[in-house]
Amino acid sequence: MRILILGGTAWLGGQIAHTALDRGHDVTALARGESGSVPAGATLVRADRSRPDAYDRVRGQDWDAVVDVTWQPGFVRSATTALAGRVGHWVYVSSCSVYADHDTPGADESAALLPALDSDTADRETYGEAKVACEALLREAVGERRCTLARAGLIGGPGDHTDRTTYWPSRFAAPADPGHGDGSGGAVLVPDSPALSTQVIDVRDLATWLVHCAEGRVAGAYNVSGHVTSLPDHLATARRVAGHTGPLLRVGQDWLAEHRVEPWAGPRSLPLWLPLPEYAGFSARDIGAALRAGLTPRPLAETLADGLAWAREQPDDRTRSAGLTDDEERELLAAARHT
């Protein structure tokens, strides 16, 4: 197959390119090339999708499949205008953020969506609405039977520059707590949220399934994530992977809010933690349709172990995109011990 990846040099795009090459396909990546290089064997077409001439070097060719990861509706509009007539199948990486509500565990693809963004340009505040608009534009341009809408959940594994899935194994592998001579060394602060679910799709499994959809022209919308795992079980798996045997200091969501700890991601956060009940279904989506369509998620332990190995290879002075710094962790542990 001739596959055109709109991107292909960043984390997920690069993995898609690797996977497609490994499966014997001819791969071209259209990208600015600022996020990295393409894998050996792929062709890089340097282009800026915000420019009117972005597709000039690829529009005159036939493509068996296009894979796109953008969240800018204008990019979907211009790409389909330039290429739709010469593409066999379109695979679009959407997001579970398209849904209007996140409080119902087990919701499937029929759940209500956010209103589509009425603009070609989005910012992070309108990410979900922008993805809805991208889906709608693609359906209109190529038709329901010629596109896969992959509503991805949290992506993890090696290369996770967001640090959302590597934070916990990394923290358990290197606790910030220096110990107090009383056997409490190595303590780690964790959310006390036994009812909260987590759901991670390994980047390699996602890429494999996306290429599979291109090969088989799998049509429709799919929630694409890993199996649902409770937060306590996820943390227990991260501990085993990291070899952590120290104590856990559990604190509730009200305590975390009072101490200005952010949920999910970003500075001074505890990744994977989300407040309940409004996010009870955010990481508990029904993935049955994707499983029936060939998705095969690997064990969570493998994703976390490989993510930890990757994180250990990064520079020591790298600033994490999510989680607590060592100083913040020690500060919060001290506060929790005196609560």
Mean pLDDT (whole number) for 71-98? 96
Q: What is the mean pLDDT of the chain?
A: 95
Specify the residue for token string 């979907």: 76
> What CATH code is carried by the domain that includes residue 74?
3.40.50.720
Residues 300 and 226: beta-carbon distance below 8 Å: yes
Look at residues 152, 179, 207 and tell me which one is the last residue of a structural domain. Answer: 152
Which stretch, 2-16, 181-195, 283-297, has highest mean pLDDT? 283-297
pLDDT tens for residues 142-172? 999 999 999 999 999 999 999 999 999 999 9
pLDDT band at 318 (very low <50, low <70, confident <90, very high): confident
Range of the domain at 70: 2-152
Indicate if the pLDDT at residue 21 is higher than 60.
yes
Report DSSP letters for 265-294, one per residue: SSBTEEET---TTTTTTTT----HHHHHTT
Residues 91 and 13 in one domain: yes
pLDDT at site 182: 47
Report DSSP letters for 24-61, one per residue: T-EEEEEE-S-S-PPPTTPEEEE--TTSTTTTTTTTTS
- Which two structure tokens, joined as six digits, stand for 84? 């739709």
- Which two structure tokens, joined as six digits, stand for 325? 């710094």
Q: What is the Cα–Cα distance from 33 to 6, expressed in whole angstroms?
A: 11
pLDDT at site 183: 46
User: What residues are paired with 29 via a beta bridge?
Assistant: 5, 44
pLDDT at site 180: 56
- Give the global pTM: 0.96
Residues 19 and 141 in one domain: yes
Q: What is the Cα–Cα distance from 318 to 47, expressed in whole angstroms?
A: 29
Mean pLDDT (whole number) for 204-223? 98
Total number of domains constituting the chain: 2
60 phi and psi angles, rounded to 5 deg = -90, 10
Q: What percentage of the chain reaches a pLDDT higher than 90?
A: 91
Residues 61 and 187 in one domain: no
Furthest CA-CA distance within the chain: 71
Residues 10 and 101 in one domain: yes
pLDDT tens for residues 115-136? 999 999 999 999 999 999 999 9
